[in-house]
Amino acid sequence: MDRQDLEERIAHLERALGDMSDVVARQDTALDRLERRVEMLMRREAERSRDDGGSAVLADKPPPHW
């Protein structure tokens, strides 16, 4: 391999690394947003369960198939 081939390979690898970095950054943002939504939904369901007179929070109850 000559110098030009190596420089081309490095350029392609740097571009691929940059593209992957962008994907990871977008996924991190999406994951943070989804975690906040799940937390909000869990709080909302716990409040609704309490308001309905339930003694245990939904997350503390075992699933019905247990």
Is pLDDT larger for residue 50 or for residue 16? 16
Do the domain assignments include residue 66? no
The pLDDT-based confidence of 58 (bands split at 50, 70, 90) is low
CB neighbour burial string for 35-48, b if at least 16 within 10 angstroms, e if fewer:
eeeeeeeeeeebee
Do the domain assignments include residue 29? yes
Q: State what percent of residues in the chain have pLDDT above 90.
A: 68
- Asked whether the beta carbons of 58 and 49 are under 8 A apart, the reply is yes
The pLDDT-based confidence of 5 (bands split at 50, 70, 90) is very high
Do the domain assignments include residue 37? yes
Q: How far apart are CA 35 and CA 63, in angstroms?
A: 22
| Domain assignment of residue 33, given as a range | 3-53
Q: How far apart are CA 3 and CA 6, in angstroms?
A: 5
| Mean local confidence (pLDDT), 19-32 | 98
Do the domain assignments include residue 64? no
Domain count, the chain: 1
> Is the model's pTM score more than 0.75?
no
